Amino acid sequence: MLARLATEKGTGMLYALLCYHDEGVVTSWSKAEDDAVLAKRRRVQQEMVDKGRMGPAIRLVPTASATTIRTSGSEQLVLDGPFAETKEQLLGLYIVDCDSLEEVVDFAKRLKEGESTTFEIRPMRIFEKGVLSGKETLAS
C-alpha cells in the first residue's frame, strides 16, 4: 500500500484529506444513517483501493475524549477537550496517493457528494515511516 512512493521518485504525492463537520450533527445520526454514509464512501474508496492508492481512512473518536497540550509561558498545560472552539471539528482523515491535485480534488468531491462535510486537502511528506504494533505504516 502506497509503497511506490518509497521506491519510485516523482510518481505521485501523498495527500491528507482532513474531514471537518459539525460534531453534534454526526453524533446525532442513527446507526442506519451513519452506515449509509460509510457505505457510500466505501464505494468511492474502493476505486482507490483497486489502484493500490488508498491509505488509512480514519474516524476520530468524539472530541470530548481529546486532550490538548498548550504552552503558557514556560509551563506546559494539559487540558481536557479540543483546542479549537468552533462548530466544525476535525472528525477524520484519509491518506491517498494521487498524481495531481486535480485527482485528489475529484476523489474528495465524490466522497462528499450529498454531504455537508468539509474536506481540507494537504500534500504530505513522510519524515519517519514509523512502526505500529510491529507493522510498518505507510511507505512500507
Query: 44: domain CATH number?
Result: 3.30.70.1060
Within a domain: residue 5? no
> What is the span of the domain harbouring residue 95?
13-123
Within a domain: residue 76? yes
pLDDT band for 120, please (50, 70, 90 cuts). very high
Calculate the average pLDDT of the chain: 84
Within a domain: residue 90? yes
Within a domain: residue 129? no
Q: How many distinct structural domains can be found in the chain?
A: 1
Task: Show the cell assigned to 82.
Answer: 479540543
The torsion region of residue 130 among left (phi > 0), alpha (psi -120 to 50) and beta comes to: left
Q: Is the pLDDT score of 6 beyond 80?
A: no
Residue 140 and residue 3: Cα distance in Å, rounded? 6
Q: Is the pLDDT score of 139 beyond 70?
A: no
